[in-house]
Amino acid sequence: MSKDSFPFTSTSLRSLKLEQELQEWEDARRALANRRAMTRAPLPRAPRLSPRQGRLQEVCAPRAPVRCRDTAVHNTFMCGDMKGIYAVLKDAAMVNALMETVHDDMVWAPEMGMWTLSSKVKQTSALRLAASRGHSGCVEELLFRGAEVNADPGGSTALHDACVGGHGLCVQLLLSHGADPEVLAADGSAPLHLSCTSAQSLR
């Protein structure tokens, strides 16, 4: 046996095989979600301005989204700390900021025969964090300040997260502010599907 390799136990091999199957399943799920997104109907054309209109309308490029990787800010929205939320929202751009978490994991790469360090970035929003924990005061404040109710960073909306947790008040707030109850998550599930799987929502 060479000094650069070591024998795997049956438990290790099974664990690696399960990890590989899980990764293949995740890749297939993402491919299906991408294929589904590509087959959606295109948006209708924007209306053209008539030549009689004398003044020009200003067209602005959309702003790049603000990205936040500060765990203290994430925890503020997850805990529903209103004092902290008011402090964070002094910057108006933070209402729709992308909350990113980065995880560095060791992943077995069988094609290379070694473990590699893989960074995984997960995206969410302040509205999703608050809705998933049922902080209705925080959700109401974010909606009042103009949070995008149907934004889906990370593949699902705040309505999906509120339905999974069975947070009825948050669901009502989101729906009253125009949340689309028929929007599909990246895995193809609607908010109603998720609310039926939660024990809290089956009252």
Per-residue pLDDT of the chain (203 residues; tens, 9 = 90+): 455 666 677 777 787 888 888 888 888 888 877 776 666 665 566 566 555 554 444 455 556 778 888 888 888 888 888 999 999 999 888 898 888 877 766 667 777 777 776 667 788 899 999 999 999 999 999 999 999 999 888 888 999 889 888 888 999 999 999 988 888 888 888 887 766 665 555 45
Instruction: Compute the distance between CA of residue 27 and CA of residue 32 in angstroms, rounded to an integer.
Output: 9
pTM: 0.61
Count of positions (residues) in the chain: 203
- Tell me which residue of 166, 160, 167, 164 sits closest to 188, measured CA to CA: 160
CATH number, domain 64-201 = 1.25.40.20
For 69-99, the pLDDT digits (tens) are 888 888 888 888 899 999 999 988 889 888 8
CA distance 143 to 146: 5
Q: Where are the domains of the chain?
A: 64-201
Cβ-contact 155, 185 below 8 angstroms: yes
SS3 of residue 68 by DSSP: strand
